[in-house]
Structure 1
Amino acid sequence: MSYLKPGFSHPHHQQNNLGLYRKDYEGALSTLCAGCGHDSVSAAIVQACFEADVEPHRVAKLSGIGCSSKTPNYFLNHAHGFNSVHGRMPSVATGACMANRELIYVGVSGDGDTASIGMGQFAHVARRNLNMVYLVENNGCYGLTKGQDSATTDMGSVSKAGRASPFESIDLVALALQLGATYVARGFSGDKEQLVPLIRGALAHRGFAFIDIISPCVTFNNNPGSTKGYEYVREHMQAVGQADFIPVREEVTASYEPGCSVEVALHDGSVCLNKIDPELDISDRASALRLLDSYKERGEILTGLLHVDRDSEDLHDTLETADRPLRDLSEQDLCPGQVALDSINQSCR
């Protein structure tokens, strides 16, 4: 069996302003479970970059460890890529961005990679306002290691092993707002109409652009007792609740108007999503945090663009770094001479 994608392009396929086809933004064939929400996120990234006329060779893809961290292999095959160790993607992204500010940095992480082992690094990359797009594919469990609870698992949610989570969950959107992220949004992997514009906005933003993406796990969140499940779906999923067989499933999709709520039937149950009211002041962090709390009390998940700082200054602005990549700086640039050194020493006295 061949796992190579055909290189053929139909002559009538749409091109963007760079003369590139959508296939020029694709990656390798996915090895994730059929129906995984992460593949829908990859498709949304491909579409967003195609529509935004992003040059693939100007993108650097970074990730840590987990199902989510495999996904950079499935988009932008001609981009730079680096798969780091568990939870350490933010520090690698920081080093790369400081060395070369001309690239577009896209980091893909998961709820474990970010909210557990990577929490410390996530906090600092957000507060420093590194110029990057940071996507979390959030499925509320460790899908790569048989579905254990993650830090975003809701309190009381029953895992596939039959145990209820005794801990309060971490809301990464609220945390990003509190840490000072300058572009904060939440999306759903099955709502492409909403997710693609959110990613395009993140790509255009100068500063730390964070998107928490609810991305269903079709394998390990398919049990009764999950906080994402209601009675109807529980009745239909009990037969495979304790099996390790991964059935082929359809992609979960949804479309609904701003200000409206909708119950989305996931493979593990249903979850109530609500798009924010268009009258929300997205420049006000406090109002976004209040809305998050109010919707959480009603058992709903708020999606959409929650906050953006249009006057954001990124880490390069704060540190007043060189405009050129470090590789382009000559010895004369890096060693300004005795006069400059004397001036620096004098300023420290």
Structure 2
Amino acid sequence: MSFEKSKFHHPRLAINELGLNYRDYEGSLSTLCAGCGHDAISSAVIQACYELSLPPHKIAKMSGIGCSSKSPTYFLNKAHGFNSVHGRMPSVATGANLANRDLIYIGMSGDGDSASIGMGQFAHVVRRQLNMLYMVANNGVYGLTKGQLAATADKGMTNKAGESSLFADIDLCVMALQLGASFVARSFSGDKKQLVPLIKAAISHQGFAFIDIISPCVTFNNHANSTRSYDYVHEHVTTAAIADFVPVKKEITCGVGDGENEDICLHDGSIMRIHKLDKNYQTTNAMQAIIDIEQHKEKGEILTGLFYLDPTCSNFHEINNTNDTPLNQLSQDALCPGSRVLSGINDSFR
């Protein structure tokens, strides 16, 4: 059975400066689990691009493999898109950016795609200051392959199968700060009031912008003793052996104010404590941001907000002094000037 999103909409929907309405920035109907935080991220991207009045055809969506990397299908259906190999999105984004620097690049990745198989790629795209927005939908598990623990899972965390995380977690925000990212932030998928402005600021930023988005998995963050687990549901609701049954759950949201804490109850009944940065937080000191993140982590809190911003940084093209004309607009003679020019280049290295 296939489903299609309705093309009908209210005739008086508000329009932006381009004459486009919110629906013009949507994508296909989501096939993620009901209540998945990744869909809230997609909604935030749609709203941010609509409010910025960005032409969809001037945007390139890049992703790797995983539940998170499926998400670009669900926003900006009139944009360019490329779903790359697992962990290799940064290389593809770099190549595309070299070919056409005039596009707006939005990368969507996951904790496995960036913190495990793609960690080397992530590290180098940060340090090279590629002009893009790089988002990680972080749920601490491999949701697409039945919930194994990811490298971002907190030490001691137990997954649905009862497996405990034995190692310290990889904090991608701390890593991005250490590698020289010029825009670093963390948010929660259920806090749209915080997430949308962060995405708008990151898209507008000239340089590498990174946002780590905590997005709880509605399916694999349930434990063996949880009353929301698969086993409990099968025992108390149905006797049929439906291997891929997903209980319908509501999206988790929060409304924590600046400088405040809020305890978020996840679908398994466990508690996640969010602490939002004060609006007067100084975003010019990367080392202080790392210290603040680690101090809150020791208290069992997840710090969210804009950690660091350097508006004067140089991006990839400025650092490498690349041609102002995108490669896809250069002539054949310019791209392949012939053996004489090649010989001159080779002689310069002798």
Hey, what does 1:295 align to over in structure 2?
296
Q: Once the 2 structures are TM-superposed, how far is the Cα of residue 9 of structure 1 from its aligned partner?
A: 2.9
Hey, what does 1:87 align to over in structure 2?
87
The amino acid of 2:129's aligned partner reads N
Which piece of structure 1 moves more, 300-309 or 248-257? Answer: 248-257
Percent of matched pairs sharing the same residue: 57
Structure 2 Cα separation of the partners of residues 10 and 106 of structure 1: 29
Structure 1 Cα separation of the partners of residues 245 and 333 of structure 2: 63
Q: Once the 2 structures are TM-superposed, how far is the Cα of residue 337 of structure 1 from its aligned partner?
A: 8.6
The amino acid of 2:291's aligned partner reads R
The amino acid of 2:6's aligned partner reads P
Partner SS, residue 237 of structure 1: coil
The amino acid of 1:291's aligned partner reads D
Hey, what does 1:306 align to over in structure 2?
307
Structure 1 Cα separation of the partners of residues 342 and 159 of structure 2: 61
The amino acid of 2:124's aligned partner reads H
The amino acid of 1:107's aligned partner reads G
Q: Once the 2 structures are TM-superposed, how far is the Cα of residue 3 of structure 1 from its aligned partner?
A: 1.6
Structure 1 Cα separation of the partners of residues 17 and 121 of structure 2: 37
Query: Would the aligned equivalents of 2:224 and 2:231 in 1 still touch at CA under 8 Å?
Result: no
- Spell out the pairing of 1:192-211 with structure 2 (5 A cutoff): 192-211=192-211
Aligned in 2, Cα 1:241/1:92: closer, same or farther, shift over 3 Å?
Answer: farther
- Spell out the pairing of 1:34-73 with structure 2 (5 A cutoff): 34-73=34-73
Alpha-carbon deviations, 1:19-51, whole Å to 9, x = none? 001000000000000000000100000000000
Which piece of structure 1 moves more, 242-251 or 279-288? Answer: 242-251
Q: Once the 2 structures are TM-superposed, how far is the Cα of residue 56 of structure 1 from its aligned partner?
A: 0.4
Hey, what does 2:237 align to over in structure 1?
none
Query: Would the aligned equivalents of 2:159 and 2:222 in 1 still touch at CA under 8 Å?
Result: no
TM-score, normalised to structure 1, is 0.92
Partner SS, residue 318 of structure 1: helix
The amino acid of 1:294's aligned partner reads Q
The amino acid of 1:237's aligned partner reads R
Structure 2 residues not aligned, in runs of 5+: 235-243
Hey, what does 1:4 align to over in structure 2?
4
Alpha-carbon deviations, 1:191-245, whole Å to 9, x = none? 00000001001100111110000001000101168xxxxxxxx5x5367568663
- Spell out the pairing of 1:234-253 with structure 2 (5 A cutoff): 236-237=227-228, 240=231, 245-253=245-253
Q: Once the 2 structures are TM-superposed, how far is the Cα of residue 165 of structure 1 from its aligned partner?
A: 1.2
**Paired positions, count:** 340
Q: Once the 2 structures are TM-superposed, how far is the Cα of residue 284 of structure 1 from its aligned partner?
A: 0.6
- Spell out the pairing of 1:179-190 with structure 2 (5 A cutoff): 179-190=179-190
The amino acid of 2:95's aligned partner reads G
Structure 2 Cα separation of the partners of residues 337 and 245 of structure 1: 61
The CA RMSD measured in Å over matched residues stands at: 2.1
The amino acid of 2:294's aligned partner reads D
- Spell out the pairing of 1:3-22 with structure 2 (5 A cutoff): 3-22=3-22
Query: Would the aligned equivalents of 1:187 and 1:214 in 2 still touch at CA under 8 Å?
Result: yes
Query: Would the aligned equivalents of 1:223 and 1:241 in 2 still touch at CA under 8 Å?
Result: no
